[in-house]
Amino acid sequence: MTEPVIAATEPKVLELEPGTYYWCACGRSKNQPFCDGSHEGTGIEPKAFEIKETQTVALCQCKHTKNPPFCDGTHNDL
The domain of 61 spans: 12-77
**Residue 5 falls inside a structural domain:** no
Residue 2 confidence (pLDDT): 82
Left if phi > 0, otherwise alpha if psi is -120 to 50, otherwise beta: which for 28? alpha
**Residue 4 falls inside a structural domain:** no
**Residue 17 falls inside a structural domain:** yes
Among residues of the chain, what percentage have pLDDT more than 90? Answer: 96
Q: What is the number of domains present in the chain?
A: 1
Does the pLDDT of residue 76 top 80, yes or no? yes
Does the pLDDT of residue 1 top 80, yes or no? no
The verdict on whether omega for the bond into residue 69 sits within 30 degrees of 0, i.e. cis, is yes
Entry pTM = 0.93
pLDDT tens digits for 37-66? 999 999 999 999 999 999 999 999 999 999
**Residue 3 falls inside a structural domain:** no
Residue 36 confidence (pLDDT): 98
